[in-house]
Structure 1
Amino acid sequence: MLEDEYQLDYFKENGFVRKQCPKCGKNFWTRNPETEFCGDPPCVTYSFIGNPVFKKEYDISSMREAYLSFFERHGHTRVKRYPVIARWRDDIYLTIASIADFQPFVTSGLVPPPANPLTISQPCIRLDDLDAVGRSGRHLTTFEMMAHHCFNSRKKEIYWKDRTLELCDSLLSELGLDLNAVTYKESPWAGGGNAGPSVEVMVAGLELATLVFMDLKQVKGGPIEIKGETYEKMDNYIVDTGYGLERFVWASKGSPTIYDAVFPKVVNELMDLAGIEHSIEDPEYANIFSQNARFAGMMDISGQANLLQLRKKVAGSIGTTVEKLQKIMVPVETVYAITDHSRCLAFMFGDGIIPSNVKAGYLARLVLRRTLRMMKELDLRIPLSEIIEVQIRNFPEYPEFRERLDTIHEIVALEEEKYADTIERGKKLVRKTALHFKEKKERIPLAELIQLYDTHGIPPEITREVAKEAGVDVELPDTFYSLVAKKHSRAEEEEQEKLPLDIPPTRKLYYEYPEQTEFEAKVLEVIDNKIILDRTLFYPEGGGQPADHGTLAVNDFVANVVDVQIVNGVIIHETDSDFGFKKGDTVKGRLDWERRLAHMRHHTATHIVNEAAKKVLGRHIWQTGAQKSTDRARLDITHYKRIADEEFKEIEMLANKEVMKNLPVDIKWMDRMEAEKLYGFVLYQGGVPPGKEIRILRVGDDVEACGGTHVSNTGLIGPIKLIKTERIQDGVERIEFSAGEAAVKRWEERDELLNKSAEALRVSPEQLPDTVNRFFEEWKDLKKENERLKAELAEARVKAMMSEAVGINGLRVLSKKIPHADVDELIKAATEFSKNDDVVALLASDSGGVKLVVAAGERAQKMGVNSGAIVREMSKLVGGGGGGKPGIAQGGGTDASKIEEALERGVEMVREKVG
């Protein structure tokens, strides 16, 4: 970053001096020429602990209001917070900063901001420093970023760097801070595809705010490099500030940690429940605790940090042993982390995130399971959902969270059950993995730990514990959870297809004339069998709706349109022939209307089923995918448990009631910001469309941004028949259904199955359930009778065959082929034989191949007869395999001609063992 970016008139006119920190080498600005260091840990320690920097104490609510009111008085419009799940983004899952609310559409200049300038207090979630939470004294997973933003263009500047610094100084001064204690540290910023110079606002060792002057956008090969990425200047430039609400509260109280300042009630309650003596009255304890807090800035638990080494550093600084420091701090830090994580979960669940194995749900489960593990370490036996409820009841500003408490309790209870099952099953897998690495004489590597966690949900602490029992070490860094969270915090970037030609966007006639089936258009380009027209009625594949089919004709030549795709606004028609079309031709297009109508019905029905599912299952439902075809559609929704039969029926009934109301399907283009203000981010259930204007579809209570084709009223959908539900992944349920003619066909198929079944049983369809139940009960009785008769037959056979037994050294050995006997009969007979201590039975059958069963009584086993070993040898001779326990074993093969040879070999093995 160029040095002159920081040579501001405000600094020069207000007596600031620019200095270089002798410890970190970074430049900073200060009013106090005697200030030596930049003010950022670890260059300095916290000096505000026990010595608050503001004139009075604030809590979260009062500080938030003081901040927002200050900026309202200074010409900013207050804007409501956005959700912590970034519904309006397709590149990140969680809202990581206040500027994320306005990326990419506002920051790119495509869409105007909701107000300009504006102020907001935005709850944010960042999990990159998950392992530092509780330990550093300052890290949080969830925090509120108080901010003021100003969106300037080259044509109109509202304010820029100097005014931003002036507002910051004025705010701090109004809060009673000595401005000589402030340092402004130069620090280039980058995030979300943008960058710019910034200054970090440091007070008493604590970073209170960051003031970013965003004027760069990320481009390949750009002239400016920041943190390994290249950028160029934007046409617009943005004041992007972030003031840490919790840090301001902490600085106003001077508490030992941010957790004591922000969550005092929850922290104290959990300390009591965990039986932790938080004895500030004990002079030695109080001294170690407060000194640790002052040096906590040195606990930079990131990258390849080693926690033990960091603790030694802090212990040395405060004159105690690392053992004594750990004994005091570890339980307390665990309480801090549980307190923080439970607030994080309150926001996640309050804003509708459902735990799962993907996207934001994965991150929610990561935090939840880490919390459960820490609660177990402290033997905290209170349900996690109760701690989350306490957090929510401490949020008077978020009444919508309290409305979801019942759902949250149910979600957390189910997750606790799943976690317990995962641990139990996971231990077996870890033992197997540990033995594998033990044989290789290697420790279990980090990649394997991450794989075990990602794929099977096994926490690394469990892996380490089980591996230790097996005598195997593991590579477990102190930053494990941060690494995993970072890996899953962003969506994978998809490669955007590009056209090699400069062609204007295709006019979309399917929006202008949704019920028209024929059109004329001009050929703009022909690429093999792909035709590009200036206009088209053909809908390209998108939004889960398949492409239209039909024909394109020129002169006497007609080609079938077999696929339609859109690339950067240009629609490409793939035909079944590359003959007959050339640039400049006028062609006639004709849609396969029956196919289009089926897609329209299913697409509109998807919106109706989605809204019905919300009304039945809860407002946490969010569409994660959909696919329509001519005969059925499927809708994937977030839900924390299986859909019950009664819920399934209710969804179907509600959906059909909406159809029968014959409601109009309202479609209109709206300014993106106006649509968001009016309807919220529920608009983006089907994905986030690009552009300043978006197409809004309203059908009944469902309102979404949707680019698909639809019927004009719900009555045209026809009946909706739900086919089935299935769990496609943890936390995601799929509903399959048919609409219109396809639904009628489903009923016809069902009726045909019903009638055929009734006919087979020679009863009417109405009598079918009772008849099937009667037959089933009779079948069960016959099965029991069959089992009884088999047992009697086996007993009779045993008595009849015992006379054929051969004596071998005190044992009676019976070798017998029983024609047509199934394996159950052989096992029953063998079991009867083995009730006699001195009997060895070798039985065979040629029913469906070769079946072999060997059984040995207790005395025979003590003499060394092993049924499993014998049956393995016998099975090899008949071309198969087998095995089992010493007392009884079974096997078989395919070569019935070798049965006698196998039986002889079995007797020979008994003779070899005891003869």
Structure 2
Amino acid sequence: MTASEIRQQFLDFFASKGHQIVPSAPIVIKNDPTLMFTNAGMNQFKDYFLGNRVPPHKRVADTQKCLRVSGKQNDLEEVGIDTYHHTMFEMLGNWSFGDYFKKEAIAMSWELLTEVYKIPKDKLYVTVFEGDAKENIPKDDEAYQFWKEHIAEDRILMGNKKDNFWEMGDMGPCGPCSEIHVDCRPDEERKLVDGKTLVNADHPQVIEIWNNVFMQFNRQKDGSLVPLPAKHVDTGMGLERLVRVLQNKTSNYDTDLFTNTIHFTEKLVNKKYTFGDDKKDVAFRVIADHVRAISFTIADGQLPSNTGAGYVIRRILRRAVRYYFSFLDVRKPLLHEIVPVLAAQFSNVFPELEAQVDFVKKVIFEEENNFLRTLESGIRRIEDFMQQAATKVIDGATAFELNDTYGFPLDLTNLIAAEKGFTVDEKGFEAAMQQQKDRSRAATELDTGDWVVLDETPNSIFVGYEQLESTTKLLKYRTIKAKGKEQFQLVISQTPFYAESGGQVGDTGTLQFDDETIHVVDTKKENNLTILFTDKLPANPAAVVKAKVDKVKRLDTERHHSATHLLHAALRQVLGTHVAQKGSLVNADALRFDFSHFAKVTDEELAQIEAIVNAKIRENVPVVIKEMPKDEALKLGAMALFGEKYGDTVRVVIIDPAYSVELCGGTHVGATGELGLFKFVSESAVAAGVRRVEAVTGSKAEAYISEQLAQLKDMKAALKNPKDPVKAVETLLQDKSSLEKQVDALEQEKVRALASSLRNQSEQIDGVNFLGKVVHVNNAEGLKQLSLQLKNDIPDHVLIFAANIGGKASIALTIDEKLVASKGWEAPKIIKERIAPLIKGGGGGQKTFATAGGQEVDKLDQVISAVKQLL
């Protein structure tokens, strides 16, 4: 069976058991501060487990794109080294929300594996939670008894809390789990060693294939466990491992989930994959795994960057580049070439990649290109270090710098070091890495208290589309501490406050408890829970609450949000239908809109887009908002954003059906005329293939134009009010350029005269012609030119010139090549050790010529003396 057939059999089986088949959620997590990426199949159903939402179906099944780059047995640096770990993988899952429980889940998993997939029963083992006396959690006798109905008792193994008790986090739903393991060893080996001794022992051929999690507890902040009112089933089976078992392979990478990619890569690099463990074969596996992760994550809306989730994607991409650079001898971008192969392979199950294949290719190509340049810089850095090192050891701080600045992992630094007979201080590296982790942890540490529940109503109802005030009650609250600051999170029954979502910022306002006013400083979503952030708690939490949104801020925000819809349609009209939204920020002050486009938007195009938007504003088109089934909305032509998770019923914002129809949960104006005016503020690049425009509407646009006109008025006044200010500025710039050329010519003449006067002033010290002077030049280039003019006239030279340039110390040091070779003197080293400390600065350069700058201009004579003393 092919992987596609195996996946479909799973979905068909559970559909026959009354499960609703649902699509995969995006791999990029939104509205959940505890996660960056979907790392388990249950993530999209978290609200149901937490009781924040009522599930529309009691039984569901799916295949979910997941990304794991840390945690139990999923360290990024292990991927590709072994045969079964991955960054991105597919998690097949079936779910029961308060419907069936252990008996049915166990029976269905056994039926699918043994009767549908025909896995021999004598290759299977199951594990059951053995209990934990310390936490007073009993053994899972229920699961044990149910398993006895299907499998021999000696194949039911006891598992500890680490392996057989699942927890969502430090707090929240949890429960025992029952894993199914398969022994893939050849029959001869299975006869020699009993497979039960290899379960959960990291044996590459005795692997976990399925996990049945039975959610029956809720863990409190103090660690105690409280039974859940409704018990749930959460299961997961890695498609990659299942396909490996059913296709009788010894490695996940030998299945047809990866062989297409590997064969295509073989052609690109003109090398063969030999199914081994050498670095070349590891590189093939790393590429096959990592290109999936980065492609699907970018398609779901997460661009590589230097922070957060974007940094994780950049790190995965760079690891793949390092492997093909180091072990496949590839020096040009490679990964982007594989994207169309992946898109075609997964088009029937994850069509979002095929829909954006050109965009994803472009982003990956640019990222590869940039990192290949960084790699070359890093290699030069490590080679410079080794040339100057006093010992054959790369210290931990330098190894960490190579990792942090140039993206060199420790293994790559070790590889380059070994080739030159060097070793790396790995303990020092680990210490530096730990310090960075500690700093990051301290910066993001969040201490969240338990919810204090006043009312068991599951969640608040949002009424903010229709009204900005409501009379309501407080349902629950909790305390949070971040960076030493205490805040509070409140949930109210009926909330007019819009929670940050879809690029629109959260509302602010007030909560009135009796005579006490509590200020709401932000509103966010945690999964589907609308949370109000405040700086204090009410004295009487049980009082009736009058909730009031800041109306001015909300209305300004709505204008900017509606403007993004007008803008999106105009961008597609002027630039082309390839334009797709890649991010936005909408607040009371401005809008920011990121979109896919491969070239700078010209001033003429911006003017055209602006004119279209303003024409729609003047038409005063009604903004019509309807709720309808998602399929009906898509037939209507509604724009859906990649990376967003939509329900069966969606909210559609229509601004003239022939102009703009988008799925959107944000708040909007009643008609376009309320925007008043739309004006661009800036256009720039964000990432490869992504442009950003910023704009303002309404009173903010008026204020911006008034400011621009005031600046123009001041400029005209400074130019004596010319009739044509543009021509006056052009004349001014031409005059400036002409004067600068004259100044440069005079400076060069001055340097030539200075060089002539110094040519015969060198003194010989131990066979070296030394010339050191504090000179008067206007810029650092003058020092450089002075050194160049004198070095050819003075053999065996050491030249040191210092100057006070704009109140800063500026130094140029030149050493004859013969002296570099015979005496081992190097200009950058002398700058670093003898000059930089004196002037409180730094510098660098080539072995024969280096420069420095610093704060201490009164130490210039000491600089000259320090170099002279060296001789």
Q: Indicate if the aligned counterparts of 2:626 and 2:651 stay in contact, CA closer than 8 A.
A: yes
Aligned twin of 1:101:
44
Aligned length, in residue pairs: 756
Q: Indicate if the aligned counterparts of 2:177 and 2:213 stay in contact, CA closer than 8 A.
A: yes
Aligned counterparts of 2:542 and 2:103: Cα–Cα separation in 1: 58
Aligned counterparts of 2:295 and 2:532: Cα–Cα separation in 1: 45
Aligned twin of 1:148:
94
CA drift at 1:840: 12
CA drift at 1:759: 5.0
Aligned twin of 1:333:
282
Q: Indicate if the aligned counterparts of 1:356 and 1:732 stay in contact, CA closer than 8 A.
A: no
Aligned counterparts of 1:369 and 1:197: Cα–Cα separation in 2: 38
Q: Provide TM-score, normalisation by structure 2.
A: 0.66
Counterpart pick for 1:422 among 374, 377, 387: 374
Aligned counterparts of 2:273 and 2:804: Cα–Cα separation in 1: 77
Q: Indicate if the aligned counterparts of 2:510 and 2:549 stay in contact, CA closer than 8 A.
A: yes
Aligned counterparts of 1:261 and 1:110: Cα–Cα separation in 2: 40
Aligned twin of 2:210:
209
Counterpart pick for 2:176 among 190, 197, 219: 197
Counterpart pick for 1:783 among 740, 748, 764: 740
Q: Indicate if the aligned counterparts of 2:804 and 2:857 stay in contact, CA closer than 8 A.
A: no
Aligned twin of 1:46:
none
Aligned counterparts of 1:843 and 1:255: Cα–Cα separation in 2: 70
Letter in 1 for 2:413: T
CA drift at 1:196: 2.0
CA drift at 1:561: 10
Q: Indicate if the aligned counterparts of 1:606 and 1:633 stay in contact, CA closer than 8 A.
A: no
Aligned counterparts of 1:451 and 1:79: Cα–Cα separation in 2: 46
Q: Deviations over 1:472-508 (max 9, x none)?
A: 424289999x99999999x967455899997999999
Aligned twin of 2:246:
252
Aligned twin of 1:320:
none
Aligned twin of 2:187:
none
CA drift at 1:335: 1.8
Counterpart pick for 1:383 among 327, 334, 343: 334
Q: Indicate if the aligned counterparts of 1:814 and 1:840 stay in contact, CA closer than 8 A.
A: yes
- 1:59-458 maps to which residues of 2 (within 5 A)? 59-87=2-30, 89-103=32-46, 105-128=47-70, 129=74, 130-152=76-98, 157=99, 159-171=100-112, 172-186=114-128, 187=159, 188-192=164-168, 193-205=172-184, 206-223=207-224, 231-262=225-256, 263-271=258-266, 329-376=278-325, 377-380=327-330, 383-397=334-348, 398-427=350-379, 444=396, 453=403, 457-458=407-408
- CA 1:471–1:641: 2 relative to 1, 3 Å: farther
Aligned counterparts of 1:696 and 1:727: Cα–Cα separation in 2: 30
Q: Indicate if the aligned counterparts of 1:815 and 1:842 stay in contact, CA closer than 8 A.
A: yes
Q: Deviations over 1:284-338 (max 9, x none)?
A: xxxxx7xxxxxxxxxxxxxxxxxxxxxxxxxxxxxxxxxxx85xx5433332232
Aligned counterparts of 1:350 and 1:570: Cα–Cα separation in 2: 29
Q: Indicate if the aligned counterparts of 2:506 and 2:522 stay in contact, CA closer than 8 A.
A: no
Aligned twin of 2:204:
none
- CA 1:425–1:725: 2 relative to 1, 3 Å: farther
Q: Deviations over 1:261-287 (max 9, x none)?
A: 2233433444465565667xxxxxxxx
Q: Indicate if the aligned counterparts of 2:596 and 2:691 stay in contact, CA closer than 8 A.
A: yes
Aligned counterparts of 1:177 and 1:589: Cα–Cα separation in 2: 59
- CA 1:379–1:467: 2 relative to 1, 3 Å: closer
Q: Indicate if the aligned counterparts of 2:375 and 2:406 stay in contact, CA closer than 8 A.
A: no
Aligned counterparts of 2:261 and 2:829: Cα–Cα separation in 1: 63
Letter in 2 for 1:131: E
Aligned twin of 1:772:
729
CA drift at 1:102: 0.6
- CA 1:449–1:388: 2 relative to 1, 3 Å: farther
Aligned counterparts of 1:74 and 1:178: Cα–Cα separation in 2: 23
Aligned counterparts of 1:162 and 1:420: Cα–Cα separation in 2: 54
Matched, 1:704 2:672: no
Aligned twin of 1:43:
none
Aligned counterparts of 2:783 and 2:370: Cα–Cα separation in 1: 41
Q: Indicate if the aligned counterparts of 2:513 and 2:540 stay in contact, CA closer than 8 A.
A: no
> Which secondary structure state, in structure 2, belongs to the residue aligned with residue 106 of structure 1?
helix
Aligned counterparts of 1:869 and 1:176: Cα–Cα separation in 2: 70
CA drift at 1:391: 1.9
Aligned counterparts of 2:499 and 2:8: Cα–Cα separation in 1: 49
- CA 1:541–1:621: 2 relative to 1, 3 Å: closer
CA drift at 1:713: 2.3
Aligned twin of 1:635:
592
Q: Indicate if the aligned counterparts of 1:726 and 1:735 stay in contact, CA closer than 8 A.
A: yes
Aligned counterparts of 1:571 and 1:546: Cα–Cα separation in 2: 9
Aligned counterparts of 1:857 and 1:366: Cα–Cα separation in 2: 41
Q: Larger C-alpha radius of gyration, 1 or 2? A: 1
Q: Deviations over 1:172-230 (max 9, x none)?
A: 2133344354332225231424322222223334433222222222322354xxxxxxx
Counterpart pick for 1:719 among 674, 677, 680: 677
CA drift at 1:59: 0.5
Letter in 2 for 1:160: F
Q: Indicate if the aligned counterparts of 1:698 and 1:704 stay in contact, CA closer than 8 A.
A: no
- CA 1:189–1:357: 2 relative to 1, 3 Å: farther
Q: Deviations over 1:59-111 (max 9, x none)?
A: 011112222222222322222222222335432222222222211x1122332
Q: Specify every segment of 5 or more residues in structure 2 that has no aligned partner in the other structure, as ranges.
A: 129-158, 185-206, 475-487
Aligned twin of 1:544:
505
Aligned counterparts of 1:486 and 1:892: Cα–Cα separation in 2: 33
Q: Indicate if the aligned counterparts of 2:300 and 2:642 stay in contact, CA closer than 8 A.
A: no
Q: Specify every segment of 5 or more residues in structure 1 that has no aligned partner in the other structure, as ranges.
A: 1-57, 224-230, 280-288, 290-324, 524-529
> Which secondary structure state, in structure 1, belongs to the residue aligned with residue 706 of structure 2?
helix
CA drift at 1:368: 1.2
Q: Indicate if the aligned counterparts of 1:144 and 1:244 stay in contact, CA closer than 8 A.
A: yes
Q: Indicate if the aligned counterparts of 1:151 and 1:239 stay in contact, CA closer than 8 A.
A: yes
Q: Deviations over 1:715-763 (max 9, x none)?
A: 2122122223567899997754322122122223223333443454467
Q: Indicate if the aligned counterparts of 2:595 and 2:690 stay in contact, CA closer than 8 A.
A: yes
Aligned counterparts of 2:828 and 2:7: Cα–Cα separation in 1: 74
CA drift at 1:135: 3.5
Q: Indicate if the aligned counterparts of 2:560 and 2:591 stay in contact, CA closer than 8 A.
A: no
> Which secondary structure state, in structure 2, belongs to the residue aligned with residue 346 of structure 1?
helix
Aligned counterparts of 1:443 and 1:854: Cα–Cα separation in 2: 29
Aligned counterparts of 2:554 and 2:50: Cα–Cα separation in 1: 36
- 1:526-545 maps to which residues of 2 (within 5 A)? 544=505
- CA 1:821–1:437: 2 relative to 1, 3 Å: closer
Aligned counterparts of 1:76 and 1:779: Cα–Cα separation in 2: 76
- CA 1:252–1:486: 2 relative to 1, 3 Å: farther
Letter in 2 for 1:628: N
Letter in 2 for 1:140: H
- CA 1:715–1:331: 2 relative to 1, 3 Å: same
> Which secondary structure state, in structure 2, belongs to the residue aligned with residue 107 of structure 1?
helix
Aligned counterparts of 1:484 and 1:843: Cα–Cα separation in 2: 41
Q: Indicate if the aligned counterparts of 2:88 and 2:289 stay in contact, CA closer than 8 A.
A: yes
CA drift at 1:633: 2.3
- CA 1:611–1:363: 2 relative to 1, 3 Å: farther
Q: Indicate if the aligned counterparts of 2:377 and 2:406 stay in contact, CA closer than 8 A.
A: no
> Which secondary structure state, in structure 2, belongs to the residue aligned with residue 336 of structure 1?
helix
Q: Indicate if the aligned counterparts of 2:460 and 2:495 stay in contact, CA closer than 8 A.
A: no
- CA 1:199–1:112: 2 relative to 1, 3 Å: same
Aligned counterparts of 2:612 and 2:123: Cα–Cα separation in 1: 64
Aligned twin of 1:744:
702
CA drift at 1:415: 0.4
